[in-house]
């Protein structure tokens, strides 16, 4: 299997080339853009009913996913995240997991396992999901974002990121959520919560936040007058 990411960072789309019969890719619901006519598609619950329900209820991931299987060599598949933005790929080798929020998952190989990770009280106090997706195993992994994506190498000195701009991070990192700017800044619409990362690994951040966009357009919404 070969793949390349095109039209990034604004409107990223991944083109996957299946080089052998039987090669597979598991794709998030609605992430498929186009495919070869004979490329087989099967919709199902990844990990069975219990596994899919757990990821749906706890991580917010779609209950059903599509598995594409090559019936001949040379077939192609195009996948993309739902919003305007970038996409990155990982060649997972089983040595280290990757963590992401459920809405950033686009696609992965069949041998990449997805599970939910409990954030404890972090998610409750940050306003983010209480669970994250943990990807581990061997094969390709595609992760999308709203806005462009930049990689940051985190060392012992740590790094601080607004929680709405986190795309993914490697398993060597841990984090704590804390407030910045004090209560006045928080209640006045300031930065609010940030994530402080520690350890050794890579952190991917987005240049834009869907939450910030929603707040920006909110005053311009049309309202009905009596």
Assigned domain for 176 exists: yes
Question: What is this structure's pTM?
Answer: 0.82
Residue that wins the pLDDT comparison between 181 and 52: 181
Could you tell me the CATH number of the domain that includes residue 209? 3.60.160.10
Assigned domain for 79 exists: yes
Assigned domain for 226 exists: no
Note the pLDDT of residue 182: 55
Residues in contact with 20: Cβ distance below 8 Å, sequence separation at least 6, in sequence order = 1, 70, 73
Tokens of 212: 């910030």
Q: If you write DSSP's letter for every residue of 105-134 in order, what string do you get?
A: EEEE-TTEEEEEEE-THHHHHHTS-SEEEE
- Partnered with residue 44 across adjacent β-strands are 65
Report which secondary-structure segment, H or E, holds 23.
none
Does position 201 have pLDDT exceeding 90, yes or no? yes
Residues in contact with 94: Cβ distance below 8 Å, sequence separation at least 6, in sequence order = 136, 137, 138
Residue pair 73/116 in contact (Cβ under 8 Å)? The answer is: no
Assigned domain for 197 exists: yes
Assigned domain for 179 exists: yes
Q: What is the mean pLDDT of residues 159-176?
A: 91
Alpha-carbon gap, residue 87 to 144, rounded angstroms? 4
What number of other Cβ atoms are within 10 A of residue 32's Cβ?
18
108-167 pLDDT, tens digit each: 999 999 987 655 444 444 455 546 789 999 999 999 999 999 999 999 999 999 888 999
For the chain, what is the domain count?
Answer: 1
What φ, ψ does residue 180 adopt, rounded to 5°? -135, 150
13-39 pLDDT, tens digit each: 999 999 999 999 999 988 999 999 999
What φ, ψ does residue 210 adopt, rounded to 5°? -65, -35
Assigned domain for 225 exists: no
Enclosing domain of residue 194: 2-220
58-111 pLDDT, tens digit each: 445 456 899 999 999 999 999 999 989 999 999 999 999 999 987 899 999 999
């Amino acid at each position: 299997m070969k793949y390349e990411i095109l039209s990034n960072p604004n409107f990223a789309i991944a083109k996957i080339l299946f080089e052998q019969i039987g090669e597979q890719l598991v794709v998030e619901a609605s992430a498929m853009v186009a495919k070869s006519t004979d490329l087989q598609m099967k919709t199902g619950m990844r990990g069975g009913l219990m596994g899919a329900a757990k990821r749906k209820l706890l991580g917010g991931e779609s209950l059903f996913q599509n598995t594409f299987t090559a019936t001949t060599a040379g077939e192609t598949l195009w996948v993309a995240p739902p919003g305007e933005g970038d996409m990155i790929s990982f060649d997972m080798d089983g040595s280290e997991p990757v963590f992401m929020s459920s809405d950033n998952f686009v696609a992965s190989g069949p041998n990449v396992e997805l599970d939910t990770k409990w954030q404890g009280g972090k998610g409750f106090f940050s306003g983010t999901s209480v669970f994250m997706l943990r990807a581990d195993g061997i094969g390709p992994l595609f992760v999308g974002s709203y806005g462009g994506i930049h990689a940051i190498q985190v060392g012992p000195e740590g790094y601080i990121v607004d929680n709405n701009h986190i795309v993914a991070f490697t398993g060597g990192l841990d984090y704590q959520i804390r407030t910045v700017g004090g209560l006045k800044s928080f209640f006045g619409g300031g930065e609010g919560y940030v994530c402080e990362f520690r350890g050794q690994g890579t952190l991917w951040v987005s240049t834009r936040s869907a939450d910030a966009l929603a707040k920006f357009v909110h005053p311009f919404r049309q309202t009905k007058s009596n």
